[in-house]
Amino acid sequence: MTRTAPTRPDSGSSDSFADAVEEERVLLARCVETAYESLRLMPGVDTSGRTLVWFAGHLLQAHRRATSTD
Protein backbone atom coordinates (compact mmCIF):
# COMPACT_ATOMS: atom_id res chain seq x y z
CA MET A 1 0.00 0.00 0.00
CA THR A 2 1.42 3.34 -1.01
CA ARG A 3 0.62 6.46 0.95
CA THR A 4 0.94 9.98 -0.28
CA ALA A 5 1.53 13.25 1.51
CA PRO A 6 -1.53 14.65 3.23
CA THR A 7 -3.74 16.82 1.07
CA ARG A 8 -5.40 20.01 2.18
CA PRO A 9 -9.00 19.28 3.14
CA ASP A 10 -11.62 21.59 1.63
CA SER A 11 -13.50 22.21 4.85
CA GLY A 12 -10.70 21.64 7.40
CA SER A 13 -8.52 24.18 9.07
CA SER A 14 -5.06 25.00 7.82
CA ASP A 15 -3.70 24.27 11.31
CA SER A 16 -4.59 20.58 11.05
CA PHE A 17 -2.94 20.42 7.63
CA ALA A 18 0.20 22.12 8.95
CA ASP A 19 0.25 19.73 11.91
CA ALA A 20 0.01 16.71 9.58
CA VAL A 21 2.83 18.04 7.40
CA GLU A 22 5.00 18.73 10.47
CA GLU A 23 4.33 15.23 11.83
CA GLU A 24 5.36 13.70 8.49
CA ARG A 25 8.50 15.86 8.38
CA VAL A 26 9.52 14.81 11.89
CA LEU A 27 8.92 11.13 11.09
CA LEU A 28 11.04 11.36 7.94
CA ALA A 29 13.82 13.14 9.83
CA ARG A 30 13.80 10.43 12.51
CA CYS A 31 14.01 7.70 9.85
CA VAL A 32 16.98 9.41 8.20
CA GLU A 33 18.68 9.88 11.58
CA THR A 34 18.15 6.23 12.54
CA ALA A 35 19.39 5.04 9.15
CA TYR A 36 22.49 7.24 9.37
CA GLU A 37 23.34 6.10 12.89
CA SER A 38 22.83 2.44 11.97
CA LEU A 39 24.88 2.62 8.76
CA ARG A 40 27.65 4.61 10.47
CA LEU A 41 28.41 1.55 12.58
CA MET A 42 28.93 -0.67 9.53
CA PRO A 43 32.49 -0.59 8.16
CA GLY A 44 32.82 0.41 4.52
CA VAL A 45 29.27 1.72 4.09
CA ASP A 46 28.82 5.19 2.59
CA THR A 47 26.47 6.98 4.97
CA SER A 48 25.80 9.88 2.62
CA GLY A 49 24.67 8.10 -0.52
CA ARG A 50 22.07 5.79 -1.96
CA THR A 51 22.32 3.34 0.91
CA LEU A 52 21.18 5.99 3.38
CA VAL A 53 18.18 6.93 1.23
CA TRP A 54 17.29 3.28 0.64
CA PHE A 55 17.49 2.37 4.32
CA ALA A 56 15.59 5.47 5.49
CA GLY A 57 12.85 4.66 2.97
CA HIS A 58 12.54 1.14 4.33
CA LEU A 59 12.40 2.42 7.90
CA LEU A 60 9.62 4.83 6.89
CA GLN A 61 7.65 2.01 5.24
CA ALA A 62 8.13 -0.22 8.30
CA HIS A 63 6.87 2.53 10.59
CA ARG A 64 3.80 3.08 8.43
CA ARG A 65 3.03 -0.64 8.37
CA ALA A 66 3.45 -0.85 12.15
CA THR A 67 1.11 2.07 12.78
CA SER A 68 -1.42 1.27 10.06
CA THR A 69 -5.01 1.04 11.21
CA ASP A 70 -6.18 -0.98 8.20
0.75 surpassed by pTM: no
Mean pLDDT of 42-60: 91
Mean pLDDT of 46-64: 92
User: pLDDT averaged over the chain?
Assistant: 85
Contacts of 20 (CB under 8 A, 6+ apart): 6
Provide the pLDDT confidence category of residue 49 given band limits of 50, 70 and 90: confident
Examine the pLDDT at 42 and tell me if it is beyond 80: yes
What is the 3-state composition of the chain as percent helix, strand, coil, each rounded to the nearest 5?
65, 0, 35
Q: Tell me the C-alpha to C-alpha distance, in Å, between residue 28 and each of 24, 32, 43, 47.
A: 6, 6, 25, 16
Q: How many CB atoms lie within 10 A of CB 27?
A: 15
Instruction: Give the H/E segment covering residue 59.
Output: helix 50-67
Q: Between these two residues, 21 and 5, which has the higher pLDDT value?
A: 21
